[in-house]
Structures are given as structure tokens and as C-alpha cells.
A and B are shown apart, each in its own frame.
Chain A
Amino acid sequence: MATIIIDGQNYELPEGAKFNAIQAARHFGIEIPYYCWHPALSVVANCRMCEIEVGTQDATGEIKMLPRLTPGCQTPVRDGTVLVTDSSKVLEHRKNIMELLLINHPLDCPVCDQAGECGLQDYSYSHGRAEHRFVEERNVKPKKDVSDLIVLNTDRCIMCTRCVRFTREITGTAELQIMRRGDHGEIAIFPDQPLDNPLAGNVVDLCPVGALLDKDFLHNQRVWFLSKHDTVCTGCSTGCNISSEENAGKVWRHKPRHNPYVNDYWICDEGRYGYKAANAPDLLAGNFILDAGDHHGVATDRFFKRLNEDLTHRILDKQAVLAIFSPFLSVEEAYAAATWVKHLTNRSTLAMGPVPVVGQDQTFAPDKMTGRSGDTSFLMPRPFTISAEKVPNKAGVSLVLNQLQGSEPLNFDDALKQAESTPIVIVFGGSPNSDWITVDQAALLRKAERVILFDSTINALADTADYVAAIASFAEKAGSYVNRDHRLQHFEAALPTREGVWTLLDILAILSGNGRAPIQSRSILAEAAAKIPALSKAKDGAVPEFGVNLTGKDAPIPDAGFKDDWTLANLAQI
């Protein structure tokens, strides 16, 4: 067992832990402030914010301290390491650094998008000094566009080089560089070579201050009005963990959340801007019944009553049902929906909705060497893949259907062919994209006598179905998805459901006459986990923070899944 001493107290390091002083202190609830260090990037120790006093205790118990301050980011901890984070020398040093970082800073917080989640504001408050001894003229530096989506306020930059290292070490694209020296240094792109790699937006999250900002979000919201919801991106089958940030009924941005097994610290730009679909003005609202060639809006209770009567009548006639399940459904939705269909009739066929594939998987696979510098033995490079399969839950939906049907679900193309010979087609949608189905495909399904659609967008099938029920959009529902690596992950709703719109889980509870809305996704997952062996690891509907690997065992995380303070402004953790 390795023992370290922090501020005079002994702590046992967890088995196999690979920590630097910042990580070790955080693990035991002690804060060492930092800027330039990032768990996924090389250590450069240039901001000097994390300096502490470091020493070692030998076998006799004697402690020898180094005479000078040492950066915590650059200090690996091992048995006998002694850290002092609260001495007057350390506290005074932090004050000095905060003062220095601000002497050439514009301090334009009132108009700065970073305000409220800014490393300079937060540390000035907690570690700075109120007096400001600088009376000279400040350097003035330009604001410049580094891409169509990202603006760089060089005057607010603290030269931590996180952004530069990201492009060199993670994406390997190296668009960013440093120009000039001393306090005239600036982050820059090469002329006419914008920062436009598929992960570019991450530099905005990495930047601890208001230097790199997202033009899409710029001056849209003060961040303290945003509520953060831990959710999972639906852009592809990678299932990146994100924070969906909402105010006044709208999602304003997506930010990555750390998950060492999935997305590490990153998200791709497509997922980042995928939030826009949540605010689409033309989402399906209300329930409609096709009558004499025209759709009529029907109040919810009447709508379900008529639907139930229609179905019961047909089912008693022994008509067969073809049910199509979108891979945008949550595991819970798929389970509840398929269960309902199976209860309706034993003459049912379960099919998978369309699974769009765009291009090929794109993997960024950082290693310990490429683009890196210094001692990289502590780095734990993790690959990041943008999946070609542009749906979040094909794996989850198909394992549910597989179980309830006892065989593989039909694929969408076969389902289209079968519609003609099936009297009743029920489609459980959920894609944020209204073009998930083409007019021709909708026409094929329309060959059935009765077409029933549950969906959130107005699309080609909604235009022709007999029953069209609006359901909560991807942003309005909670549940779980299973990603391409068989990891089941829980996601929260970011928005309340639209006026007059119910979640599919609630609707199914009404239709099947069991349970009373609102239905908690967790109880459905618990039920599914009890019935479906492939989901047995989600016992009682409990899903751990980083999700659960349904088919295998997770590798240990020696860095304990350190959350970077600046990506999500996580400061409040300690």
C-alpha cells in the first residue's frame, strides 16, 4: 500500500492509481488549482498555478522538502510523497500568479461569454488578491477568427497552450500555433488554414478563459441562466456523454462530459451542434387522425380511445401487426413498445427502423508519443471515434426486439416490402431528423390498411398515417441507450415535453392500461433488466456514472476518471 502525506495527513493511494499531485489531492478532496494541465494532454507546466511544496518521507519517517516550489502537475505521487498545498508560501504564490495573469487582461467580463464559468474569475475569487499593483499600460491584442465557428480573443488568452496541444496531440491536425514571444505571444492559425477539424469545437471547452469562444453560442445566453442536464449525444452510435444546457425552453449548447470508456473528454462538432434539432420550430405537436383524406387534431384522451377501439376491433379479427422501431428509441421505449405490441397480438412482426450510415468511422487515436512532449508515462491516451452509424441505440433496440420476438428483428427494407401484406403497421419513431423516411418509403408503408405513427417530427409518414401521435423529442425524454461497444448509458431529459405532448412511455402506459403517467424510465429499465438476460447488468434500473458494459468487463481507470475543471466549469465539485 502506498501512503502519501498531504498537508500533514496520511492517505492511502488506491491500488494501481497513477496520479500526479493534482489528481491525488483531488482524490482526497483537496484542491490544487491548475490551468495548463489537462489529463489527456502532455504536461508543460507553464501556467505555474498548481505550484505546491513537495518532499519525500523516507523509511525512517524523516521528511525532506524540496527548497523551491514545484508544479503539482509535474509531480507524480508515489509511496512517501509529501505534498503541502496550504502553506503561506503556496497561498502567496497563487496570489502572485493571479495578479500576473490579469495585468494584461482586458477584464471585460461584462461582455465576455466565459463569465460565470471562467478560470480567471473563479481563481481570482478563491486564490487571488484584491489589490492590483499594476499601474502600467496594458498590452492590446486583437480578436481573430480561427474558423467559421470559433473566435479567438487573444487579449483574454493566458497562454496555457491547451488548445495548441489538443490539435497536436489529440487530432494530430496541428492547426494552432504560437506566434511572437513574451507578453506579446499569441495563439494563431497559419494563414488560410482554419481550425476546422471534426473535433475543433473542443478547444472552446478546453480553454479555461474567454479566449476561444463558440460563435454559435456567442452572446446568446449568460451561462448562469443555463441548467445543465447530463445526457448522451444521439448523433451517432458512439454515444458521447454530454451536458445539454437549456434555458427558457430551449437548448443553447452541448458540452462534453468525461467518460473514459466512451468519449474521453471530447465530442465532435456534429454532436455539438446537434442541439439545434431540439429547438426546431416545426416539431410535431398534438395528435391527429386521418379522416376523409385530411388530418384532424384530436384531444389526447379521445385520440387514444379511438386508437384503442380501432386496434381492438382489428386484432379480434386476427389481423397481423408489423411494428417498426426507430434506433432513436431508448431501451425503455423499445421495451415498453414491443411489450405492448406483443400483448396486442401474437401475430406481430418486429422490425428495425432505418439505420443511416454516412461515410466511414473516423477514429482519432492519440498515443503517448505523437505530437507529445516530456514525461508521458502518466498519460492514458484513449481513442475517439465518430461512428458512421448515425443513430444512438441500434444495439439497444435490437437486443430488446431480439428478446421479445425470439429472433432478429426484420430490417427496414424487408419491413417496407412486408407492409403491403400486413393490415396494421405501427411505427415508433423518434429520430430528430424529419427526413428519416422518404416519401417513397412512406408510400410503401401506406399500403397497409392501418398506419399508426408515434413520432416527434413532421415527416413523410406523418403526412399519410391514419393515426399520428406526437411524442417527446430526443431532448425531452430520459432513458438509456446502448452504444456501439455494448455500453448502456443513462441520459436525462434536457427539456420538458412540448405543450400537450407526452413521452412515449406515458402514452404506452395509457394504451396498455397499466401504470399511471408519468412513468419513470428507471422502473421500465428495471423491468427490462429482469426479463432480458442481455440487460441483466442494469439490475433495478441502476446505471453507473460511466455506463455499464453489457457484454464484458471494463478495464480499470488508473487516473480515476478525472474531470477537468474547465471543460464544464466543474469547480463546485470540491
Chain B
Amino acid sequence: MAAFEPVLSRNWNNPDILSVMTYESMGGYAASRKALTTMSPDNVVDLVKASELRGRGGAGFPTGLKWSFLPKDRKETFMCINGDESEPATFNNRYLVEKDPHQFIEGILIGCFATKANTAYVYLRFEYIKAIHILEKAIAEARAAGHLGKNIYGSGFDLEIWCHRGAGAYICGEETGLIESLEGKRGWPRIKPPFPAIEGAFRKPTVVNNIETLACVPHIVERGADWFKSMGTPKSYGPKLYTISGHVNKQVCVELPMGVTTNQLLEDHAGGVWKGRKAKAAVPGGISMGILKKEEFDIPLDFEEIRKTGCLGLGTAAVTIMDDQTRIIDYLYNTTRFFAHESCGQCTPCREGTGWLYKTVKRIRSGGGRIEDLDLMSHLANNMGITPGTTICGLADGAAWPIKNALAKYRDELEDFIKHNQNPAYKITAGQDAISKGQSPLPTNTSMFVPGIGLAKSLSN
């Protein structure tokens, strides 16, 4: 395999790249010009299909295929670019916008041309204030330079890009939550069907793509589908931005061919585990994806292989390393708290399940745990999410996966923790315990004085 040449991050060390002139002088906007002036929208869709580019937003859905779901006879199409990037420890989208905004704009331009969208909305995470300033300035420059606006490059294609800032909710990263939020409503995901391609923003056919997904597109147009497929692992091609954080010496965002392993990231790019410690586990791609054991650090981080470890998927490729002093109960405490806080609250299993899991983990962590709590957690986790079909969106799956993985991979540690961390102040009463198991709160054949009734009859199980 030829030496890997980064493309997405190639300009990141050049601060002048924020200016459209510099970007153009480095060959920028050549791909968009090529697409708009020498290709038809369908040619672009076919090219992206051929490249087998899969969405970088988390689900890994084939991008070209998604674009081809748009109704043929549509009159108006919207492109929504998902820059909500709220998955903990994920910051590759931020780098893409802050460090090379024109590459992103060029990607939007080609993506919109391919999907015949004349309006693009960039939905950016609330906290990305710097990114939004950079992006808005870049959009203005690109417009002045003729890359946006009416009749771009004389091709007859028009495009306007609007920036929209979120209001600080993880759920607005879910594509239909995003659309609702964009429409000015509460970010409650919609049921599907109808899928956004048929009825999305403002009830019009809509494509939702991640920032990194679109940033790949100019390079595919420029270098071809074969080039893209020359990198990566089967069914997971192309370059990918990985972020590494947690207990490492160097927290970085690096571009690598799809399918590197956790060990490679840790040792070659993050400078190893901090404080001279050893690694214990890792979160593979944002906390929704579950947890990887140290023994699984040699599994390729791509769309397919990672699932064999029981993890939900690659997610955002935001790898968080945990050192050997990290307690799994603390990991669970953080994840359950996050999802209980971020559940939008419409589906019963997610709204109540995330809160229940958080309260249970909190009690266990405080010293009030029972071994049976682990089974209860497992039952709750197995019954929430789009996997069993009990919720509207995948947040619930993301909330369930850390529990499922931790129980599958670290049950011994959790049981051990419960046994050795008992604090009377947090224990539930024997009565509560019995009732929760469907038993009588009193021992068999005892009697109970009920005021006003006298001695009630013997209670038995």
C-alpha cells in the first residue's frame, strides 16, 4: 500500500487557508468547478456511489445511496449539514470548520449540486462560536468569489448557505431532531417514515449529511472513486479523522486510512497512556458506541470489524482511552448521567429508562448496590432503542450500549464492586427490596397491625 497522504487535514497547518484566495491558490474549488461545469448531478451521485463513501456522522450510511433516495420529480431540495457534533470527546467536525472552511464549503457545493439543493443549512453546535465566525466569513468570501450565489461558474446552478446555531442539545444531532430544531421547534426526533429524503425540512425532500462526509466529496471528485477505495478496509473506505482523548499523553485529531486500530492510535499518535500507566479500556467512537477492552485494541476501527466486539459501531471515531485506574462503575456513571440528561423525553422507554439506569448506577456507585441490579440494568438496556424497536431514535441505543457492553465485558468487576462497596446510608430497605421482587415486605406467616382494622390476616408470599 502506498504511503498514506492526508487530504482532509492537509491544510490545517496553514492559517492563511481561511482566505478564499489562498485556498484557491492551493488548488481549491477546482473540484467543484469540475463537477459543476463538466458533470451532471447524476454523474456526481454515481461517482460518490462508486466510491462507497459512507456517512461520517455515526451511522455509516452509504452517501451516494442516500442521495439517490430523493424523489425524481422533486421541485425543491434542502441540504442540511449536521455539525451538531455533541457526541462526547468528538471534535473532528470542529477542526474541519475552523481549520479549512473552504474545503467544507466546496464539499457542500458539490453535494448540493449532486442533490439539486439550492439551499443548504449548516447546523452548528451552540458552543462552536469560533467555528461559526470563521465559517460565516468564509461563506461571504466564497460568495464574493463566485463559488456561491446565482449561476455558479456559469453552470446555471444556484446555491445559498445559511448557518444555524443549535441551542445546546445532543438530540439535535439526530437528523430529524435537527430538522425540527432548524424549523424552530423543539428538537424532538420524528418518526420514520417519512424519511427526510421524502419529507424533511419544511416538509420538502432533504438530505442530512455530516460535515466530514461532505468534506470527503471534493477529493473524490478530484481523485476518483478508485483513489478513495484504495484506502481502508473492506466496506469502509477512504480517509478518516480520528480523535483520541482521555488518559493519553497527547489528545489529538489525526487523519488516517479507515480501519486503524486503537493500539495504533494510542501508541503512534497519542503518545501512549498518561502518567506511565497502562490502558484498561477505550470508548471506540463516542460513548454511544459502547466500550472496548484492552484485549480488543487490535480490532480495526471501521464500520464492520468493530461491531464484532459487541460495540454498536464506529460512531464518530472519537476514541477515549481509560487507564488501568479507571473504575467501570465511574464510566457507567458518566455515560448514564449523560443520556439521562440528553434524552429528549418523548419515548417512554428512553425517557424513563435512561433516568432509571442513571439512578441505579448512582446508587450502586454510592454503595447501595445489589447484584440483582445488574440484571435489571441488562433487562432495561436490552429493551430500549431502535434495535428492539421500542424508540423513535438511536439515542436510546446509545444509552443502552455502554450498559450492555460493560455487563458483557466487566460483569465480574461490577459484581466485585458491589460486594466490596456497601454503604448503609445508600442501601434500600428490606421492604423495598422485597416489593421490587414481587414478594411480601414481611416474612412469611407474620402478622401486621393495621390501625382501624386490628390484626390483619397472615401475609404469605
Stretch with Cβ within 8 A of B (4 or more), from A94-102, A110-118, A285-293: A94-102
B352 interface residue per 8 A CB criterion: yes
Q: Which residues of B contact A180 (CB under 8 A)?
A: 345
Decide if B346 touches A159 in the complex (CB within 8 Å).
yes
Stretch with Cβ within 8 A of B (4 or more), from A132-140, A232-240, A401-409, A489-497: A132-140
A104 interface residue per 8 A CB criterion: yes
Taking the closest CB of chain B, its distance from the CB of A102, in whole angstroms, is 9
- 8 Å CB contact of B392 from A45, A96, A133, A137: A45
- 8 Å CB contact of B353 from A100, A131, A161: A100
B328 interface residue per 8 A CB criterion: no
B340 interface residue per 8 A CB criterion: yes
Once the chains are docked, how many angstroms separate the CA of A101 from the CA of B342? Answer: 19
A182 interface residue per 8 A CB criterion: yes
A68 interface residue per 8 A CB criterion: yes
- 8 Å CB contact of B191 from A43, A103, A104, A139: A43
- 8 Å CB contact of A182 from B186, B203, B341: B341
Decide if A373 touches B190 in the complex (CB within 8 Å).
yes
Closest to A178 in B: B186
Taking the closest CB of chain A, its distance from the CB of B180, in whole angstroms, is 8
Decide if B363 touches A93 in the complex (CB within 8 Å).
no
A48 interface residue per 8 A CB criterion: yes
Once the chains are docked, how many angstroms separate the CA of A71 from the CA of B386? Answer: 12
Decide if A158 touches B355 in the complex (CB within 8 Å).
no
Once the chains are docked, how many angstroms separate the CA of A554 from the CA of B353? Answer: 48
A418 interface residue per 8 A CB criterion: no
Q: Which residues of B contact A96 (CB under 8 A)?
A: 349, 383, 390
By CB atoms of chain B within 10 A, which of A48, A66, A101, A137 has the most? Answer: A48
Q: Which residues of A contact B343 (CB under 8 A)?
A: 181-183
| B: number of interface residues (CB 8 Å) | 44
Once the chains are docked, how many angstroms separate the CA of A195 from the CA of B348? Answer: 26
Known: A48-B391, A74-B191. A185 touches B351 (CB 8 A): yes
Q: Which residues of A contact B428 (CB under 8 A)?
A: 135
Decide if A103 touches B190 in the complex (CB within 8 Å).
no
Decide if B388 touches A68 in the complex (CB within 8 Å).
yes
Mark each residue of chain A from 170 to 210: 1 if its CB lies under 8 Å from any CB of chain B, else 0.
00000001101111110000000000000000000000000
B12 interface residue per 8 A CB criterion: no
Decide if A130 touches B355 in the complex (CB within 8 Å).
no
- 8 Å CB contact of B347 from A46, A70, A130, A373: A46
Decide if A136 touches B356 in the complex (CB within 8 Å).
yes
**B residues 420-450 in Cβ contact with A at 8 Å:** 428, 432-433, 435-438
Decide if B436 touches A131 in the complex (CB within 8 Å).
yes
A374 interface residue per 8 A CB criterion: yes
Q: Which residues of B contact A71 (CB under 8 A)?
A: 191
- 8 Å CB contact of A159 from B193, B345, B359: B345
Decide if B392 touches A181 in the complex (CB within 8 Å).
no
Contacts A74-B191, A136-B356, A178-B188 known; 18 new A-B pairs at CB < 8 A: A46-B346, A47-B348, A68-B388, A96-B349, A100-B353, A103-B355, A131-B436, A132-B435, A158-B348, A159-B348, A177-B186, A178-B186, A181-B169, A181-B345, A185-B351, A374-B190, A374-B194, A375-B194
Query: What are 22 A-to-B residue pairs whose CB atoms are below 8 Å?
Result: A44-B191, A44-B346, A45-B191, A46-B346, A48-B348, A49-B348, A67-B389, A68-B386, A93-B390, A100-B349, A100-B352, A104-B352, A133-B437, A137-B359, A177-B186, A178-B188, A181-B169, A181-B344, A182-B341, A182-B355, A183-B343, A183-B355
Q: Which 4 pairs show the lowest CB-CB distances between chains A and B? A: A68-B389, A131-B438, A69-B389, A136-B359
Which residues of B are in contact with A by a Cβ distance under 8 Å?
Answer: 169, 171, 186, 188, 190-191, 193-194, 203, 340-349, 351-356, 359-360, 363, 376, 383, 386-392, 428, 432-433, 435-438
